[in-house]
């Protein structure tokens, strides 16, 4: 089943011809040349180009393509395959705040040999464009996670990696006993990068369990920690552009980063599993 709905009237969207998707009320959405659709209504945009810009998206793509976060990606896949129980053999999965699609394709495809429809959404059209271009087996669309053009009770699993979350909207689109996996920063995430930028490092205190409300109950949390070795200042700058630190980096700190030839950085993640009750 194609779980996408019209952002204006919530009716089902279907493929109209080679070039667009349409609902029964004739709301029409062009399929871009890159193979994605934009389902973010203009009146819901808070800025001209919301979400990550092209520079941030390219930096993240170049960083992830080097495999630095493969241990996280593999851990997410292992949690899904070993811990979650699905009552269906054909899954509908949403990568929420998907960026350029690295996790949708690498962590969510071929789960225990199950068939799946993978959809991904992000508010950044640059991110969605990159995802659709690279991962043609999945379906990507521009939308906000606070107002998802996705059918009620249609999704078996949502993955949200370092992206905003909305319990109510996620709860609406998930089936009963559907799963939500949220990846958030662990306390020492990017410690050494922060120390290059600020005088001292303040451990992250983000508590996702407090933030996710009914209809979810907390099932488990898995911590994944590893170190990455970066021996190239261009790659370190890519990493910086992926973090909120980028916007608070002084000229002095920027120079330190440009001159840094090698650094070992702690990556620290919490993978938290929730289920609808
Ligand atoms: C830190 S990035 C993570 C991207 C991807 N999940 C990854 O880990 O590679 C956060 C993403 O959330 C997106 N985002 C921010 N606000 C959003 C919203 N309201 N709805 C959908 N996506 C949003 C940004 O455009 C960005 O791509
Ligand atoms: Zn419509």
Instruction: Return the pLDDT at 47.
Output: 82
The per-residue pLDDT for 22 is: 96
Instruction: Compute the distance from residue 25 Cα to the ligand 2 centre, in Å.
Output: 5
* Domains, the chain: 14-276 (3.40.50.150)
Ligand 1 close to Cβ of residue 68 (< 6 A): no
Q: pTM for this structure?
A: 0.96
What's the pLDDT score for residue 34? 92
What whole-number distance in Å separates Cα of residue 100 and Cα of residue 130?
A: 5
Q: How far is the CA of 25 from the centre of ligand 1 (A)?
A: 30
Q: Which atom of ligand 1 is nearest to the CA of 242?
A: 1
Distance from residue 18's CA to the centre of ligand 2 (Å): 19
**Per-residue model confidence (pLDDT) at position 189:** 97
Residues 245 and 257: their CA atoms lie apart, in Å, by 12
Distance, in Å, from the CA atom of 160 to the CA atom of 176, rounded to the nearest integer, reads 19
Ligand 1 pocket member 101 (CB < 6 A): no
Q: What does DSSP say about strands 263-276 and 216-230: parallel, antiparallel, or unpaired?
A: antiparallel
Torsion, CA 150, CA 151, CA 152, CA 154, rounded to 10? -100
Give, in order, the Cα–Cα distances in Å from 152 to each of 10, 23, 89, 155.
9, 16, 20, 8
Separation CA 5–CA 150 (nearest Å): 5
First to last CA, the chain: 23
Beta bridge partners of 216: 276
C-alpha of residue 112 to centroid of ligand 1, in Å? 27
Q: What per-residue confidence (pLDDT) applies to 1?
A: 78
| Least distant ligand from the CA of 47 | 1
So what's the pLDDT on residue 199?
83
Predicted pLDDT of residue 200: 86
Ligand 1 pocket check: which of 7, 123, 169 to mutate, most ligand atoms within 8 Å of Cβ?
123
Alpha-carbon dihedral sign for residues 139, 130, 122, 8: negative
Q: What is the pLDDT of residue 60?
A: 96
Task: From first to last of the 277 residues of the chain, give the pLDDT tens digit.
Answer: 789 999 999 999 999 887 999 999 999 999 999 999 999 988 877 788 889 999 999 999 999 999 999 999 999 999 999 999 999 889 999 999 999 999 999 999 989 989 999 999 999 999 999 999 999 999 999 999 999 999 999 999 999 999 999 999 999 999 999 999 999 999 999 999 999 998 889 999 989 999 999 999 999 999 999 999 999 999 999 999 998 888 888 999 999 999 998 999 999 999 999 999 9
130 φ/ψ sector (left φ>0, alpha ψ -120 to 50, else beta): alpha
**Ligand 1 within 6 A of CB of 105:** no
Q: What is the pLDDT of residue 3?
A: 95
Stated as kind and residue range, the H or E segment containing 157 is strand 155-161
Residues contacting 4, CB < 8 A, separation 6+:
12, 13, 21, 39, 119, 139, 141, 149, 150, 151
- Give the β-pairing of 14-15 and 90-96: unpaired
DSSP state string for 90-102? EEEEEEET-TTSH
Residues constituting the chain: 277
Distance 154 CA to ligand 2 centre (A): 18
* Token pair recorded at residue 152: 């009620």
pLDDT of residue 44: 79
């Amino acid at each position: 089943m194609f779980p996408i709905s019209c952002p204006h009237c919530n009716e089902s969207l279907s493929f109209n011809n080679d070039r667009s998707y349409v609902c029964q009320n004739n709301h029409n959405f062009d399929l871009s040349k890159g193979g994605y659709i934009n389902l973010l209504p203009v009146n819901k945009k808070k800025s001209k180009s919301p979400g990550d810009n092209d520079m941030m998206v390219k930096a993240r793509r170049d960083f992830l393509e080097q495999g630095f976060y493969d241990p996280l990606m593999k851990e997410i896949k292992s949690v899904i395959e070993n811990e979650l129980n699905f009552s269906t053999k054909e899954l509908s999965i949403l990568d929420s705040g998907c960026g350029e699609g690295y996790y949708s394709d690498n962590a969510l495809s071929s789960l225990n040999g199950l068939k799946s429809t993978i959809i991904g959404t992000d508010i950044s059209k640059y991110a969605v464009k990159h995802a659709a271009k690279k991962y043609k087996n999945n379906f990507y669309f521009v939308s906000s996670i606070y107002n998802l053009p996705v059918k009620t009770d249609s999704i078996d699993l949502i993955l949200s990696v370092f992206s905003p979350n909305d319990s109510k909207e996620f709860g609406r689109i998930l089936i009963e006993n559907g799963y939500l996996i949220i990846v958030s920063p662990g306390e020492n995430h990017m410690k050494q990068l922060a120390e290059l930028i600020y005088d001292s490092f303040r451990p992250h205190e983000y508590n996702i369990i407090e933030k996710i409300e009914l209809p979810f109950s907390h099932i488990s949390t898995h911590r994944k920690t590893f170190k990455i070795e970066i021996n190239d200042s261009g790659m370190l700058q890519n990493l910086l552009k992926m973090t909120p630190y980028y916007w608070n980096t002084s000229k002095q700190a920027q120079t330190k980063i440009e001159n840094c030839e090698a650094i070992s950085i702690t990556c620290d993640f919490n993978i938290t599993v929730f289920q609808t009750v």
